[in-house]
Amino acid sequence: MITQDDIQAAHGRIAAHVRRTPVIEAAGAAFGLDHPVVLKLELLQHTGSFKPRGAFNNLIARDVPAAGVVAASGGNHGAAVGYAAAELGIPARIFVPEIAGETKIALVRGTGAGLEVVPGHYGQAAAAAEAARQASGAMTIHAYDAPETLAGQGTVGLEFEEQAPDLDILLVAVGGGGLIGGIASWYDGRVRVVAVEPEGAPTLATALRDGPDAEITPSGVAANSLGGPKIGRLAYDVVTRLGIECVLVPDAAIAEAQRQLWLGTRVLAEPGGAAALAALTSGRFAPPPGARVGVLVCGGNVDPAPV
């Protein structure tokens, strides 16, 4: 179980290494809504997503062997681990599936970490990373199912509550569950946290229906950031303990939310970063009248040309 004390401790460790990302209030009319939306722009974090929080917490809180670290990633986690490892002078090897796409592969490469592109999806990259760990003695930094990862990602919730203490509802996109597991652990029921997933990558929804060991084959526009094949057990335990609901959104709604974010606020999000907003703009989630609604815009690693 991840506690508020764990998240406070993580915040103290990583504060000097991560950005305190801004919060803005957007008029509902920008998104075709009849209520304002409070956006936390975590896409402005180092490497373009929330992931450095968990990466730095792992690297600082744990004893890293001389062989360094390995990580498997759809792109954002790998870039974060590569960036954090470079900042701290730690060797890193990152295993990324082909599905990550050239934008995210180039981002990982730019950190200077050792990079291996693996055919297939995240599961194949994770298997390759595990083989490298066994061969080298390096330490694995899991993208979403480690206590240090959840505590690091939970600092997003800590900051959001300080910046917008009057939220009633917070919508959070879900891939493997590290982000929502950390944020929900921070709020611990004080705010209604809503999980949002693409229809093509219903990792949490499937686990809630079929059990925590259920696996999916992710697809769709957000598969390279929200395409975890299996929900993290730590996040599953948090979500079920708190009774968090899960909303699914189609790819078309995610693309439209991207467009509206750009037109309404000049925020350029990747599909996974816009998925939480898509629950509102598509009508898949309708907050009660008068509710103060927050949305986490969690990633911005996208080629701007098609937008």
239-263 residue pLDDT tens: 999 999 999 999 999 999 999 999 9
Q: pTM, whole model, 2 decimals? A: 0.94
- 132 and 206 both lie in a single domain: no
Residue 206 within a domain = yes
The answer, yes or no, to whether residue 307 has pLDDT greater than 50, is: no
3-class secondary-structure state, position 224:
helix
Note whether residue 120 is domain-resident: yes
User: 144 is written with which tokens?
Assistant: 């979403």
Q: Mean of the pLDDT values across residues 198-219? A: 96
The answer to which of 102-116, 182-196, 204-218 has the lowest mean pLDDT is 102-116
- Asked if 206 and 268 sit in the same domain, the reply is yes
pLDDT of 29 > 50? The answer is yes
Burial, 106: exposed, middle or buried (Cβ in 10 Å; 0-12, 13-18, 19+)? Answer: middle
How many angstroms separate the CA atoms of 174 and 231, rounded? Answer: 9
Do 213 and 226 lie in one domain? The reply is yes
Domain boundary among 101, 117, 140: 140
Residue 100 scores a pLDDT above 80? no
Assess contact for 183 and 156: CB atoms under 8 A. yes
- pLDDT, residue 224, reads 83
pLDDT band at 19 (very low <50, low <70, confident <90, very high): very high
**Does 165 score more than 50 pLDDT?**
yes
- What's the mean pLDDT when you consider all of the chain? 94
The CATH number of whichever domain residue 42 belongs to comes to 3.40.50.1100
